[in-house]
């Protein structure tokens, strides 16, 4: 199983950023409202995540690190409308096969919890008592210590940190109702308080996005809000003047899940092209909400792709929402700054 896990790890664990993604998704699945991340040497030496979610019951602890063990799917019906971010039970087994992992967790407020460690294999030691508030702390050290070939593929600390920060940005944008913090080499890089999704406070509404993308993104973008039966889109679309400088800032979320999807990208590009003659530099933060039953996220292990039951309908909704908003801004009073 160790070899199988290491092979699987190649798919799930490419670099520290992919570990971060899996671990934060687990925290979100556990219902955490606060997630604190600490990194050393861009996550290679140390990647620690603490959450205040459900914790793991002591009897489930050995299973959590086992391959294909997931607590999130029990019936075929669950798979249909899967709402959790992880459901394959691969991440922890894969990560523990290529690093030294320590997990301390508690399911209640007694202050008592349990600890388990794994080092380059499924599990090294027995579960032992350890103090912990409700939630889970997961510490990963020495990523790829036992797979030197893979370690060689890691880039400079700076590049790996850029990837980590991008994963952090996406996940933090996906859930502004969850508080996040990120430390690197003991230095606080981001501290993001939780903001209710339905806040009416205009300043709060923009806060998370401004903290992560900068105030100029807010100043140079149009807020969008579009609703039809069973589908809803809201967020910000950047104006071309901003887009040119920030071509990589494209964030799309489907039901709170990070999505990079061809169909979605096409709809957005079309709208930009039609109205602004420049779809290449689209910049956006957009949230699509649809009935989970009409979207299939079980397409690819990294789960960035989705399959909509009626792709055409979703495409056209996104396209027309953006088209209306962008052309409305052109002919309306907002007069965006449109440089050639
Ligand atoms: P998956 O997320 O696909 O179920 P993982 O390998 O990521 O698989 O996690 C295995 C199991 O460990 C999860 O199903 C969950 O029960 C448990 N788990 C992992 N991380 C956490 C966490 N932070 N809080 C609570 N439970 C967790
Ligand atoms: Mg998971």
pLDDT per residue over 148-192, tens digit each?
988 998 999 999 999 999 999 999 999 999 999 999 999 999 999
Average pLDDT of the chain to the nearest whole number = 85
- Look at ligand 1, atom 23, and give the residue with the nearest C-alpha: 27
Nearest to 263 by CA among 302, 230, 296: 296
Residues 235/286, Cβ–Cβ less than 8 Å? yes
Contact status, residue 9 vs residue 98, Cβ threshold 8 Å:
yes
**Domain range summary for the chain, segments of one domain joined by +:** 2-192, 214-331
Is the CATH code 3.30.230.10 the one for domain 214-331?
yes
Separation of alpha carbons 234 and 285, rounded Å:
8
Predicted structure pTM score:
0.88
86 CA distance to ligand 2 middle (Å): 4
Q: Which of 8, 20, 64, 298 to mutate to test the pocket of ligand 1 (most atoms within 8 A of CB)?
A: 64
185-219 pLDDT, tens digit each: 999 999 999 999 888 898 898 899 999 998 888 88
Q: Are 332 and 283 in contact (CB under 8 A)?
A: no
> 188-196: long-range contacts at Cβ-Cβ below 8 A with a sequence spacing of 24 or more?
189/165, 194/33, 194/34
Please give all residues whose beta carbon lies within 6 A of any atom in ligand 1, as ranges: 22, 26-27, 29-30, 51, 53-56, 64, 70-72, 86-93, 136
Query: So what's the architecture of 2-192 in CATH?
Result: 2-Layer Sandwich (3.30)
Exposed e or buried b for every residue in 45-76, given b needs 16+ CB within 10 A? bbbbbbbbbbbbebeebeebbbbeebbbbeee
């Amino acid at each position: 199983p160790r070899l199988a896990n290491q092979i699987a790890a190649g798919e799930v664990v490419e670099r520290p950023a992919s570990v971060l993604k899996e671990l934060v998704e687990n925290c979100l699945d556990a219902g955490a409202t606060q997630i604190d991340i600490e990194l050393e040497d861009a996550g290679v030496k140390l990647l620690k995540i603490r959450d205040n979610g459900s914790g793991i019951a002591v009897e489930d602890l050995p299973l959590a690190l086992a391959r294909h063990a997931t607590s999130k799917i029990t019936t075929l019906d669950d798979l249909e409308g899967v709402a959790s971010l992880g459901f394959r039970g691969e991440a922890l087994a894969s990560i523990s096969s290529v690093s030294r992992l320590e997990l301390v967790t508690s399911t209640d407020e007694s202050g008592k919890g349990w600890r388990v460690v794994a080092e380059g294999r499924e599990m090294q030691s027995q579960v032992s008592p350890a103090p912990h508030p409700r939630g889970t702390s997961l510490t990963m050290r020495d990523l790829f210590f036992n797979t030197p070939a893979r370690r060689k593929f890691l880039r400079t600390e700076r590049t790996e940190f850029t990837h980590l920060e991008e994963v952090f940005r996406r996940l933090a944008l996906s859930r502004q109702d969850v508080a996040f913090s990120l430390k690197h080499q003991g230095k606080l890089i981001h501290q993001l308080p939780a903001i209710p999704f339905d806040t009416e406070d205009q300043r709060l509404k923009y806060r998370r996005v401004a903290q992560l993308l900068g105030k100029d993104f807010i100043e140079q973008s149009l807020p969008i809000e579009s609703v039809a039966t069973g589908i809803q889109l809201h967020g910000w679309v950047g104006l071309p003047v901003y887009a040119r400088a920030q071509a990589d800032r494209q964030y799309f979320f489907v039901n709170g899940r990070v999505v990079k999807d061809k169909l979605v990208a096409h709809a957005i590009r079309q709208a930009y092209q039609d109205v602004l003659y420049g779809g290449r530099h689209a910049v956006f933060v957009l949230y699509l909400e649809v009935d989970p039953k009409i979207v299939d996220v079980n397409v690819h292990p990294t789960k960035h792709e989705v399959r909509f039951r009626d792709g055409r309908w979703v495409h056209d909704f996104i396209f027309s929402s953006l088209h209306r908003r962008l052309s409305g801004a052109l002919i309306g009073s907002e007069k965006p700054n449109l440089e050639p």
